[in-house]
Amino acid sequence: MQKQEFTITVYTENQIGLLVRIAIIFSRRKINIDSLNTSPSEIDSVHRFTIVINETEDVVRKLCRQIEKQVEVLKTYYNNNDEIVWQELALYKVPTDIIAEEVKVERLLSQHGAKAVVIRKDYTVFEVAGHREETDNLIKVLEPYGLIEFVRSARIAIIKNSEGFHKKLKEFEYREPGEVATENEFLNQNEEVFSM
Amino acid sequence: MKAVELVEEKIETKKQMFLTGGQAVLEAFLEEGVDTIFGYPGGAIMPIYDALYDYNDRLKHILVRHEQGAIHAAQGFARVSGKTGVVFATSGPGATNLVTGLADAMIDSTPVVCITGQVFAHLLGTDAFQEIDVINITTPVTKWNFQVTDATEIPAVLAKAFYIAGSGRPGPVLIDITKNAQLQQFEYERYEKCNHIRSYRPKPIIRKKYIEAAAALINNATRPFVIFGQGVILGNAEKEFKAFIEKAGIPAAWTIMGMSAIPTNHPLGVGMLGMHGNYGPNVLTNECDVLIAVGMRFDDRVTGRLDKYAKQAKIIHLDIDPSEIDKNVKTNVPVWGDCKETLPMLTALVEQKNHTDWHQKFKDYQLKEDEKCIGPELNPTTDELTMGEVIKLLNELTNGEAVIVTDVGQHQMVACRYAKYNNSKSNITSGGLGTMGFALPTAIGAKFGAPSKTIIAIAGDGGIQMTIQELGTIMQFDVEIKILILNNQFLGMVRQWQQLFHEKRYSFVGITSPNFVQVAKGYYIEGQKVSEREKLKDALQTMLQHKGSYLLEVMVGKENNVFPMVPQGKGVSEIVLSKEEI
Ligand SMILES: Cc1ncc(C[n+]2csc(CCOP(=O)(O)OP(=O)(O)O)c2C)c(N)n1
């Protein structure tokens, strides 16, 4: 099996210490987390972790089961890049005088969809939202013009064919859960699991 | 008029009750049916100990000699009784001393609730005296942990702790309580046991289609083989398990954690799996056509090299923990669920069979093992005593009724290979972590969990010295356990590996011992030492009949090895019967 980029989405309770519990599932196996974001979800009390790693599907599936085993984790999904819509946000700080002087820079920025967030006399901050390659490209473009500072956020992702978590959460709240709440989609996806 | 009276009565009964956090902890224990606590006090847990002073009539507290001893004792208590063991320790060093036991309980799925004291909440993060980040230190070795900084949280958090520790696949839980929360007075409503946490599914849903698929595989099999682990014991499914193998007529082998779930002399029991397990079960793992794993996790000490493990077989895996399915061995049919529920469903669908020819194969291998390994170990012709003959005599004297708690090393493997058991929960050993020093404190806890049983701790001369201070606990609380030291004057298991795989370069495996009998005497514990065969039986008899604890040191051969053995990196069917074969 080939390594590829997977995005793991974890719905959890909002609990101090859970980040460590999840992080050590990766570090214990010496697996690098490429990107990690925690945020609210579509549901008030439920948190959402978005984790990006580069691994084989087999490894990712096992990791997801370990994550889902944690008491405060409601549900874990993993998806490849075709199954999600994702974005990262990048900020670039460049000297304002150069942009003012060089029309070329101005044009380059707009070609890359950069939007000015702050314009001061000494510097200007631009933002770009997009995939890794896109935000990376703009670094290369700006470097010759004295890029002062650069930062990029973790990936956030929306699962294309997800129905959201409202219905599932109701299931979880029942004492006797239905199949929906306990199913492990990643297990079911694996056709080899059940063969005779 | 009547209505008014009623209202007044209601007001009467709704009297306010104020408790301190410390008292609330003990109230929770009573509600959960706890009667024994293993612990050690210190500054940060003093308010709880102060509260305990008034609960002395309802809660027994066993003062151990080291916090590792407390948690091992709680494990022993849990393993023999099926109940949750409970531990108190103070902050800082008290808490860090628990870590080995937590790791042991985690990997062997033992329900334990540990309460640690913590510095005042306002001091957290200031490197206060005896402050340690116990939550983060213990995260990898607990099923769940939580820090309480406000007393009002205590009832609900403890209810959750007991529920999580004991349900589903059990495990250790640690609750860290800051000193201010222990001291804080609050209005105590009532204790409500927890039986649902929305984000926690102790048992996966059982899927009938997998049960049917499993039954179909089993019914078509000609060489089916059952391997089982502690899941059968933890699920209280011994009866269901027996009914299943007896109807299907399938030979069954145990992991060291599953041992004693069925009596060791059960006609379908074919012995122990794994590195020092029996010959037949290991070899025939690679000849069966359907392998049915029940409540076990395919540890590497059981499977040997994975790419040479049961490749020819269809694999059915029954487990309560979905993350175990496919973790090490790819499963054809995953039967998720509590085996107490899934086994009867499976039994209903399997056909009655006896597989006589297949059973004969196990018997044939048994004969070879008898000749090469078991015979010489149990009936030696050499002058030196063997560990095996000690266990054999012990079997004769206890009739399989004792609980045996082993330490880690050669004696552990020999005890697990040869001990006979009639009852479940009789073989207590550190399976997953292999914790030397486990036997003595665990045996102490086991006695409190099963007071009517004879509890025998079997340890090597190395391991006993790791926790020997717990003799003090035995002395103070008049605990009756039998301590059997099998002294080979070596860290025997490591020596065996150095002999076999490191050209006999014995690097720091010779270990000297104190006069164990004198040490025991110092703690007012009777004992003796034997090295002659003629005296062995009497000595064992004396140990067992003695009123109170007793220490028996048996001098055994210095350089005996445990065989058979699946050498590391080899497949299970490459198991060897002697060192000449390596
Ligand atoms: C705490 C700990 N330290 C080290 C080991 C490694 N180890 C495994 S078996 C063994 C030797 C045990 O010697 P002894 O207690 O004398 O028992 P024997 O093997 O001789 O029966 C050692 C050092 C371990 N399992 N646990």
- Least CB–CB distance from A184: residue in B198, B216, B322: B322
Q: In the predicted model, is pLDDT for residue B7 greater than 60?
A: no
Q: Which of B492, B490, B482, B472 is nearest to B552 (CA)?
A: B482
In terms of residue numbers, what domain contains A121? 86-152
Q: In the predicted model, is pLDDT for residue B237 greater than 90?
A: yes
Angle between helices B410-418 and B492-501 (to 10 degrees): 100
Size of interface A-B (CB pairs under 8 A): 77
The pLDDT assigned to A73 comes to 96
CATH code (residue A12): 3.30.70.260
Instruction: Tell me B304's DSSP state.
Output: B
Q: In the predicted model, is pLDDT for residue A102 greater than 90?
A: no
The pLDDT assigned to A1 comes to 82
Residue ranges of alpha helices (H) inside B381-435 are: 387-398, 410-418
The pLDDT assigned to B205 comes to 87
Domain identity same for B398 and B541: yes
B161 C-alpha to center of ligand 1: Å? 33
CATH code (residue B179): 3.40.50.970
Q: Give chain A as a 3 state SS string.
A: CCCEEEEEEEEEECCCCHHHHHHHHHHCCCCCCCEEEEEECCCCCEEEEEEEEEECHHHHHHHHHHHHHCCCEEEEEEEEHHHEEEEEEEEEEEEHHHHHHCHHHHHHHHHCCCEEEEECCCEEEEEEEECHHHHHHHHHHHHHHCCCEEEECCCEEEECCCCCCHHHHHHHHCCCCCHHHHCCHHHHHCHHHCCC
Domain identity same for B429 and B528: yes
The pLDDT assigned to A99 comes to 82
- Residue B256 CA neighbour count, 13 Å, CB half: 30
Poorest-pLDDT segment among A108-112, A117-121, B386-390? A108-112
pLDDT tier, A174 (very low <50, low <70, confident <90, very high otherwise): confident
Whether B379 maps to a domain, the answer reads no
Instruction: Tell me B421's DSSP state.
Output: -
The pLDDT assigned to B408 comes to 98
B129 as an active site residue: the answer is yes
Which residue, chain included where needed, has tokens 């510095």? B119
Q: Please, what's the b/e burial string for A3-39 (b: 16 or more CB within 10 A of its CB; e: otherwise)?
A: eebbbbbbbbbeeeebeebbeebbeeeeeebbbbebe
Domain identity same for B145 and B219: no
Ligand 1 pocket, mutate which of B301, B408, B499 (most atoms under 8 A from CB)? B408
Mind giving me the DSSP string for B250-278? --EEE-TTTTTSS-TT-TTEEEE-STTS-
Domain identity same for A68 and A96: no
Interface-testing mutation among B144, B162, B198, with chain A (most A C-beta atoms within 10 A)? B198
**Using CB atoms and an 8 Å cut-off, which of residues 127-166 of chain B contact chain A?**
135-136, 139-140, 143-147, 164
Q: Which of B118, B119, B122, B185 is nearest to B152 (CA)?
A: B185
Cα-flanking dihedrals φ and ψ of residue B453, to 5°? -90, 155
Interstrand relation of B252-254 and B314-319 (parallel, antiparallel or unpaired): unpaired
**What's the rounded Cα separation, in Å, for the pair B222 and B203?**
32
Torsion angle in degrees (nearest 10) through CA of B236, B284, B373, B502? -100
Domain identity same for A180 and A94: no
**Using CB atoms and an 8 Å cut-off, which of residues 323-362 of chain B contact chain A?**
323, 325-327, 330-334
Q: What's the domain count of chain B?
A: 3
Domain identity same for A14 and A69: yes
**What's the rounded Cα separation, in Å, for the pair B332 and B354?**
24
Domain identity same for B345 and B398: no
Q: In the predicted model, is pLDDT for residue B494 greater than 80?
A: yes
Q: In the predicted model, is pLDDT for residue B8 greater than 60?
A: no
Mind giving me the DSSP string for B518-542? HHHHHTT-EEEEE--HHHHHHHHHH
Q: In the predicted model, is pLDDT for residue A193 greater than 70?
A: no
Domain identity same for B178 and B236: no
Interface touch A69/B322, C-beta < 8 Å: yes
B18 as an active site residue: the answer is no
Q: Give whole-number Cα distances, A188 to A6, B333, B497, B565, in Å.
A: 18, 12, 43, 38
Q: Which chain A residues are closer than 8 Å to B326 by Cβ?
A: 61-62, 190, 193
At B227, which helix (H) or strand (E)?
strand B224-228
Q: In the predicted model, is pLDDT for residue A180 greater than 70?
A: no
| CB B282 within 8 Å of CB B388 | no
Interface touch B199/A65, C-beta < 8 Å: no
The pLDDT assigned to A183 comes to 63
In terms of residue numbers, what domain contains B403? 385-559
* CB-based contact, B204 to chain A, within 8 Å: yes
Cβ–ligand 1 distance for B491 under 6 Å, the answer yes
pLDDT tier, A101 (very low <50, low <70, confident <90, very high otherwise): confident
Domain identity same for B37 and B174: yes
Residues of chain B with pLDDT > 70, as a percent, come to: 98
Q: In the predicted model, is pLDDT for residue A182 greater than 90?
A: no
| CB B38 within 8 Å of CB B113 | no
Domain identity same for B120 and B233: no
Q: In the predicted model, is pLDDT for residue A179 greater than 90?
A: no
Cα-flanking dihedrals φ and ψ of residue A149, to 5°? -150, 145
Q: In the predicted model, is pLDDT for residue A189 greater than 80?
A: no
Domain identity same for A178 and A113: no
Strands (E), B70-133: 85-89, 112-118
Q: What's the domain count of chain A?
A: 2
pLDDT tier, A162 (very low <50, low <70, confident <90, very high otherwise): confident
Q: Which chain B residues are closer than 8 Å to A177 by Cβ?
A: 201, 205
Q: In the predicted model, is pLDDT for residue B3 greater than 60?
A: no
Q: Which chain B residues are closer than 8 Å to A65 by Cβ?
A: 322-323, 325, 327
Average pLDDT for A82-93: 96
Q: In the predicted model, is pLDDT for residue B78 greater than 80?
A: yes
CATH code (residue A136): 3.30.70.1150
Residues of chain B with pLDDT > 90, as a percent, come to: 96
Chain B nearest-CA residue for A14: B199
B139 C-alpha to center of ligand 1: Å? 26
Interface touch A196/B332, C-beta < 8 Å: yes
The pLDDT assigned to A122 comes to 94
Q: In the predicted model, is pLDDT for residue B1 greater than 50?
A: no
Sign of CA dihedral A140, A142, A144, A150: negative
pLDDT, one tens digit per residue, over B10-41 is 555 567 899 999 999 999 999 999 999 999 99
pLDDT tier, A190 (very low <50, low <70, confident <90, very high otherwise): very low
Write the burial class of residue B574 (CB in 10 Å: 0-12 exposed, 13-18 middle, 19+ buried).
middle
| Residues, chain A | 196
Cβ–ligand 1 distance for B490 under 6 Å, the answer yes
Q: Which chain A residues are closer than 8 Å to B332 by Cβ?
A: 193-196
Average pLDDT for B412-420: 98
Domain identity same for B212 and B180: no
B493 as an active site residue: the answer is yes
pLDDT, one tens digit per residue, over B272-301 is 999 999 999 999 999 999 999 999 999 999
Whether B202 maps to a domain, the answer reads no
| CB A169 within 8 Å of CB A121 | no
**What's the rounded Cα separation, in Å, for the pair B444 and B314?**
43
Whether B150 maps to a domain, the answer reads yes
Cα-flanking dihedrals φ and ψ of residue B520, to 5°? -60, -45
Poorest-pLDDT segment among A161-170, B129-138, B175-184, B538-547? A161-170
Domain identity same for A135 and A168: no
Whether B503 maps to a domain, the answer reads yes
Domain identity same for B7 and B90: yes
The pLDDT assigned to A108 comes to 83
| CB B232 within 8 Å of CB B295 | yes
Q: In the predicted model, is pLDDT for residue B145 greater than 60?
A: yes
Query: Which value does ipTM take for this structure?
Result: 0.93
